Structure formats: structure tokens, C-alpha cells
Amino acid sequence: MREIVRVAGMNADGQAAHRRGRYVDGLRRERAIRDDALAAAFGAVPREVFVADGFRTMDGRWLTAADPDFLVEVYRNDALVTKVDDGVPVSSSSQPSLMAIMIDALDVRPGMRVLEIGAGTGYNAALLAALGAQVTSVDVQPDVVERARRALACAGVTGVTVVLADGYAGFPSGAPYDRIIVTVGVTGASPAWFDELGPEGYGLAPVFHAGGHPILRLHREPGGPPRGRGVCGAGFMTAAGPLGARYPWAHPEPLRSGALPAPTLRRPGRWYPPLELRRYHDLSVAAGAWNSRVTHGGILGEEDVDWVLLDETGAGGAGIARNGAILAVGSTAGRYADQAAAVLDRWEWSGAPEVADWNVDLALAGDPARPVWAPRRWHV
């Protein structure tokens, strides 16, 4: 039964504050929030103001402030889709635990200048401002920019400027920045971002790899090419234009869940209990580092398979379940099951590396006129 927002003796503001407090406690328990300053920011910024025009929940309902469980859903640890175009989500408020991890990795201190690529609802920028940052938030969608500005004003947030502009170019008139944070999935980093960072600055971006968007910390040493370092696994909506360009060594495009038919070959699991979701993400990033055919996707009837080694036909291959079972499909089932087994062996032999254990060499890719620095080689 779905919980209804009713707290005895509280008005709407009191109910929101009550929910917000429980929400912060939950993020602390999950270790997404690890310091008092970040907890205070999440406790002070009213998320409900930034989704006041409504959102789509994880179970597909569209909620507005008039719905009785609006605040319950606002303060779940879930992404909230706020804009849909032809059935495709194009703007959202990201999952709070992921936002907290990214903000923590950004190491923001009062007075820092932060460039945000992708305004979303404005909530992420408001959290950064609550930590004392001066934020310039860039988005290419006029309605998204307008809603973010309106929400920031309604919440009384100062220190944030929302700009209608192409994120590929960053915002050079506000440079140099101490930090850059990208809140939309990209296939690589714009060269302009590195030009706009100060000497000690770095950026965080969800960069396409193995069908997902693991978060990379991006930096450039003087006189050298940019490099990346893993932070955590993630999945994001993908940017349009040059920031979403394909390139020759990219992994196959993600498949919908259950896109591949039921398995024709099955090899037993290796682990009990199965991997936690975070460790399963770690395995998928490693698999993608070692096999260029890894992408997000599922096998019909196999709920514990979220990514696969897709064969050249796009209709077969092998998936790895969270317990280490291998499930293979199609005429290439045996060959791809062997490749999946090799990935599992290598992960175990390598000490089961986490996303944060990986360094990433980047190379220019995409549109030659507007290239991006895309992942080329991953190494522990």
C-alpha cells in the first residue's frame, strides 16, 4: 500500500520539512552523504519547489502538487522525469544519492565558481549554491531554462545564473571555473570545458561506456591531453548534438530491457549472495574495458541481467547475471558465453576492481568540426 502524506498537526510546509529530514537521514545511511555541510544543503533546499510543475514517477504516473502522495514521491531516492518529448524523457531531477555522490566528489568550497552543463530543474545548482558556490548553469532548452530560473527564484536561491546556451561551448565569459559538473550523459568531454577550467580545476561528467554513463573526474595536466578517473557507475539521459556523437570504437547502443530472446545456453552462477547493484555496476565497467561489445540490455525472462555482450548481428550474445551466471542467446551463444566467462575470470583475477579504480585515456572523436574527448583506453 502506498504511503499517504499525512502528518498529524503539520501544515504543508511542516510536512515537507519532515519528509526532507527523513530523506537526508536515508541518504546518510546509504553513505551518499558523508559530511555535515552536504547534509545541511540537502536539508535546506526544498526539492518540491523544483518539480512543482509535476513529474513522472518510476512507476509511470504523472504527479502534481495536488496529488496526496506528491511529497512522498518527491522525497524518495529516485530520479523524477520532468519533461517528456514524444514519449522519451528529456529532462529530469536526478537520483538524489547520485547527486550527493557527484557533489561530494566535486569538493566544492565557499566562493568557488562552478559551471553546470545541463540545468535540469535547478535543484542541483541550488544544492551547490547552498555549499557557497557561485554557479553558472547552462542549458539548450528554453523551457527548461525558464522553469529552472522560476524555481530558483521561488526557493529564494541566490548565487545561481541560468543561461540559455549550447553546453558544448561551456560559458567562456564566466571563466575560469574551479569546477565543472555535467548532469547529462555525454559521449565525451568538450575541449572548451578544459579551456575554461582554472589551473587547479577539474570536471565531473557521466561519459558513455558499456551502455551506461559512469561518472569520470576529468582533468588535464599542463601540456598533455585530458585524462579521466572513475568515480561511480551511473546511467543518464544522453545529450543531443556533438556531446552525443558516435565514434568508431564506441560500444553498441543500449538495448531496451528484455530485447534479446530467452537464453539457449546457461552456465551456473559463481556467487552467493549475488552482487549488490553497486558491485554489478563495477563489473559492467570492467567488462566494457575488456570487451568492446558490452552494452546495456536484457534477456527475456532474466530479471538479473542488465547488460550483455552483444554479437555482431545485434540479435544474440551473452549476458551476465548478478550471481555470475552466464546466459547466452542465438547462433553465437557458445562463443559469446566463452567471452563472458573470460570477463568474469579476469575481474576475479584482477581483484574485482571498482569504478573508482580505473584511469581512462581520452582521444578526440566525433564530429571533426566539434570533437569530444572520448574514452579510448581503460586501465586499473
- What cell does 263 get? 537464453
Considering the domain boundaries, does residue 160 fall inside one?
A: yes
Q: How far apart are CA 162 and CA 73, in angstroms?
A: 26
Residue 221 has pLDDT above 90, yes or no: no
Residue 86 has pLDDT above 80, yes or no: no
Q: Give the confidence band of 9 by pLDDT, cuts at 50, 70, 90.
A: very low
Tell me the pLDDT tens digit for each residue of 169-188: 999 999 999 999 999 999 99
Residue 195 within any structural domain of the chain: no
Q: Which residue has the higher pLDDT, 2 or 343?
A: 343
pLDDT band, very low/low/confident/very high, at 10 (cuts 50, 70, 90): low
Residue with cell 559521449: 187
pLDDT at 8: 41
Cα distance between residue 102 and residue 313, in whole Å: 37
Checking if the pLDDT of 3 tops 90, the result is no
Active site residue 97: no
238 — pLDDT class (breaks 50, 70, 90): confident
Q: Write the CATH number for 335.
A: 3.30.310
329, containing H or E segment: strand 326-329
Residue 1 — very low, low, confident or very high, per pLDDT cuts 50/70/90? very low
Lowest mean pLDDT among 16-20, 88-92, 242-246, 321-325: 88-92
Q: Is the pLDDT of residue 162 over 90?
A: yes
Residue 208 in domain: no
- Residue 190: closest CA among 88, 286, 118: 118
Q: What is the pTM of this model?
A: 0.92
Range of the domain at 301: 265-349
Q: Which of 183, 209, 244 is the last residue in one of the domains?
A: 183
Asked whether residue 220 is assigned to any structural domain, the reply reads no
List phi, psi (to 5°) of 326. -110, 130
Where does a domain end: 136, 167, 183? 183
348: cell is 576475479
> Band of the pLDDT at 113, cuts 50, 70, 90?
very high
- Which of these is catalytic: 91, 93, 94, 284? 94
Query: In which band, very low, low, confident or very high, does the pLDDT at 159 lie, cut at 50, 70 and 90?
Result: very high
CATH of the domain at 75: 3.40.50.150
Beta pairing, strands 265-267 & 326-329: antiparallel
Q: How far apart, in Å, are the Cα atoms of 358 and each of 137, 217, 234, 264?
A: 29, 11, 15, 34
Last residue of a domain, one of 183, 202, 237: 183
Domain tally, the chain: 2
Over the stretch 119-145, which tens digit does the pLDDT of each residue have? Answer: 999 999 999 999 999 999 999 999 999
Least confident of 22-26, 90-94, 337-341: 90-94
